[in-house]
Amino acid sequence: MTTLDLPAAFADSPARALVCRECRHEVPLSPVHVCEQCFAPLEVGYDLDRMRQVTRKSIEAGPHSIWRYAGLLPAGQDLATRVDLGTGMTPLRKANNLGKALGMDNLWVKDDSANPTHSFKDRVVSVALSAARAFGYTTVSCASTGNLANSVAAHATQAGLRAVVFIPNDLEQGKVVQTAVYGQTLVAVEGNYDDVNRLCSEIAENEEWAFVNVNVRPYYAEGSKTLGYEVAEQLGWRLPQQVIIPMASGSLLTKVDKAFRELVTLDLVEASPVKVYGAQATGCSPIATAYENGWDTVRPVKPDTIARSLAIGNPADGPYALDAVRRSGGAMGHVSDAQVVEGIRLLASTEGLFAETAGGVTVATLRQLLERGQIDPTAETVLYNTGDGLKTLDAVAGEVGPTATIAPSYNAFTKTGLA
Ligand SMILES: *Cc1c(COP(=O)(O)O)cnc(C)c1O
Ligand SMILES: [Zn+2]
């Protein structure tokens, strides 16, 4: 494909080319994700002059969604191909109660459970499907640990695209139902996420489909940058001092870090250091384990954790997440499933915020980093909650329930001593 073939829908995109993350080889914008020279992942490269046309004012005048940052994203400038369910601009909540419980002075929670399908995946899917449409695809697909399936099915349906979604057959019922309800094609595969992903790579070679996390992954990944932009804007156009982020493939963490650096380059915020911290569940902690052991490579594991949305045993962006955390002076941690449940309950009982297991992982990891003196309790810190607790009810269903069960009489109630 030459630049002349670039679909018209990309005319106003600030994206310039796809660039290899290792050898820097460049190819024109197209639905590919691997470097033909060295097989490393490709990433979107931008025309900085075009990006510089974006100002705080132009952003603030934009829609109350991720699309206010369209001038900093690779796709979606063209309204005819933009896929928009109103994703983004989720609340940044001051978490004084949780902060107090943890001994922190200045803690915020960025609550991405408020997105249309209740997880951060709506951000990446909005951008991926906008790119897919711009390239002319009519069928979109993905391998998912659950949240991506929900999001792809919903966004494709609204955009008039066909979706074929692949999931491991042992997913939480909430995530299966929340995907199936849109009436798209849902295939449950007898295997774990890494098996599903391998299968999808094979299908991708034979079908003219846009796989959001395979052939259009470079565009997909850029959607996560909006979680960095929004926090900076919501803080009044400045960067936090510390952020703590859950990791599956590691992509989200690397893109939040990239977003902060872009904002500085574009003079949209003043330069100030941001330490980046990564969180995983011990039952699937290939990236945090590499960090702990000082390894540069990530050794694949077989996932076994209730935090299924983070259960990627062979994380594509693991080495880049390690780089980002080490470069920033942050750290990583991993926590047991019991600690994940405690984390969910701590966030709920302090902030009235019910997170899915990934949120529990992040809260519990923050507590661990504090206990180990690896994170500063006085620095302004943003914790990313990436999904809704209603998606993973099973994780806490056995732990909480009614305070009392009584006969419908006043006498029965007084006997409980609850008055
Ligand atoms: C997908 C996901 C993440 C992180 O994904 P990456 O692959 O690391 O980008 C975090 N939280 C939730 C709830 C997710 O679904
Ligand atoms: Zn390369």
Q: Give the chain's domain count.
A: 2
Q: Are residues 39 and 97 in the same domain?
A: no
Site to substitute for ligand 1 among 43, 118, 121, most atoms within 8 A of C-beta: 121
19-23, 171-175, 249-253: the lowest-pLDDT one: 171-175
- Binning pLDDT at 50, 70 and 90, where does residue 170 land? confident
CA distance 262 to 215: 25
Q: Is residue 410, in this structure, part of any structural domain at all?
A: no
Is the pLDDT at 3 greater than 70, yes or no? no
How close is the Cα of 33 to the center of ligand 2, in Å? 11
CA distance 139 to 164: 7
Residue that is last in its domain, among 220, 254, 270? 220
Q: Is residue 322, in this structure, part of any structural domain at all?
A: yes
Q: Is residue 287, in this structure, part of any structural domain at all?
A: yes
Q: Are residues 114 and 125 in the same domain?
A: no
**Residue 112 CA, closest ligand 1 atom number:** 13
pLDDT at site 1: 44
Per-residue model confidence as pLDDT tens digits over 236-274:
999 999 999 999 999 999 999 999 999 999 999 999 999
How close is the Cα of 309 to the center of ligand 1, in Å? 6
Q: Are residues 310 and 382 in the same domain?
A: yes
CA of residue 236 relative to chain centroid, distance: 23
As to burial, measured by CB atoms within 10 angstroms (0-12 exposed, 13-18 middle, 19+ buried), residue 27 is middle
Rg (Cα) of the chain, in Å, rounded?
Answer: 21
**Residue 246 CA, closest ligand 1 atom number:** 10
Q: Are residues 166 and 299 in the same domain?
A: no
**Residue 356 CA, closest ligand 1 atom number:** 13
Q: Are residues 98 and 209 in the same domain?
A: no
Is the pLDDT at 2 greater than 50, yes or no? no
How large is the average pLDDT for residues 335-348?
98
pLDDT at site 174: 84
Residue that is last in its domain, among 164, 195, 220? 220
Q: Are residues 125 and 270 in the same domain?
A: no
Q: Are residues 40 and 166 in the same domain?
A: yes
Q: Are residues 337 and 259 in the same domain?
A: yes
How close is the Cα of 210 to the center of ligand 2, in Å? 22
Q: Is residue 274, in this structure, part of any structural domain at all?
A: yes
The number of the ligand nearest the C-alpha atom of 41 reads 2
The residues whose Cβ lies within 5 A of ligand 2, an ion, are: 20, 22-23, 25, 35, 37-38, 40
Q: Please, what is the angle between helix 318-328 and helix 286-293, to 10°?
A: 50
Residues with CB under 6 Å of ligand 1 are 119-121, 147, 246-252, 309-310, 356, 358, 386-387
Q: Are residues 268 and 293 in the same domain?
A: yes
Instruction: Evaluate whether 122 touches 226 at the Cβ level (below 8 Å).
Output: no
Strands 242-246 and 275-281, by their bridges, are parallel
Nearest Cα to 303, choosing from 193, 391, 204, 203? 193
Is the pLDDT at 157 greater than 80, yes or no? yes
How large is the average pLDDT for residues 345-360?
98
Q: Is residue 286, in this structure, part of any structural domain at all?
A: yes
Q: Is residue 101, in this structure, part of any structural domain at all?
A: yes
pLDDT, averaged across the chain: 95
Q: Are residues 46 and 159 in the same domain?
A: yes
Site to substitute for ligand 1 among 310, 317, 340, 391, most atoms within 8 A of C-beta: 310
**Residue ranges making up the domain that contains 70:** 3-84+121-220
Instruction: Evaluate whether 271 touches 327 at the Cβ level (below 8 Å).
Output: no
How large is the average pLDDT for residues 300-315?
94
pLDDT at site 4: 54
Residue that is last in its domain, among 199, 220, 241? 220
3-state secondary structure the chain: CCHHHCCHHHCCCCEEEEEECCCCCEECCCCCCECCCCCCEEEEEECHHHHCCCCHHHHHCCCCCHHHHHHHCCCCCCCCCCCCCCCCCCCEEECHHHHHHHCCCCEEEEEHHHCCCCECHHHHHHHHHHHHHHCCCCEEEEECCCHHHHHHHHHHHHHCCEEEEEEECCCCHHHHHHHHCCCCEEEEECCCHHHHHHHHHHHHHHCCCEECCCCCHHHHHHHHHHHHHHHHHHCCCCCCCEEEEECCCCHHHHHHHHHHHHHHHCCCCCCCCCEEEEEEECCECHHHHHHHHCCCCCCCCCCCCCCHHHCCCCCCCHHHHHHHHHHHCCCEEEECHHHHHHHHHHHHHHHCCCECHHHHHHHHHHHHHHHCCCCCCCCCEEEEECEEHHHHCHHHHCCCCCCCCCCCCHHHHHHCCCC
Q: Are residues 233 and 195 in the same domain?
A: no
Positive or negative: CA dihedral 226, 160, 214, 166? positive
How large is the average pLDDT for residues 78-95?
97
CA distance 168 to 162: 20
pLDDT at site 194: 85
| Vertex 142 angle, CA 140 and 145, to 5° | 150
Q: Are residues 212 and 258 in the same domain?
A: no
CA distance 322 to 396: 31
As to burial, measured by CB atoms within 10 angstroms (0-12 exposed, 13-18 middle, 19+ buried), residue 326 is middle
Q: Is residue 405, in this structure, part of any structural domain at all?
A: no
> What CATH number has the domain bearing residue 273?
3.40.50.1100
How close is the Cα of 418 to the center of ligand 1, in Å? 41
Per-residue model confidence as pLDDT tens digits over 189-218:
999 888 998 999 899 889 999 999 899 999
Single pTM value for the model: 0.96
Nearest Cα to 11, choosing from 134, 189, 105? 134
Q: Is residue 312, in this structure, part of any structural domain at all?
A: yes
Instruction: Evaluate whether 370 touches 102 at the Cβ level (below 8 Å).
Output: yes
Write out the two tokens for 275: 């330490």
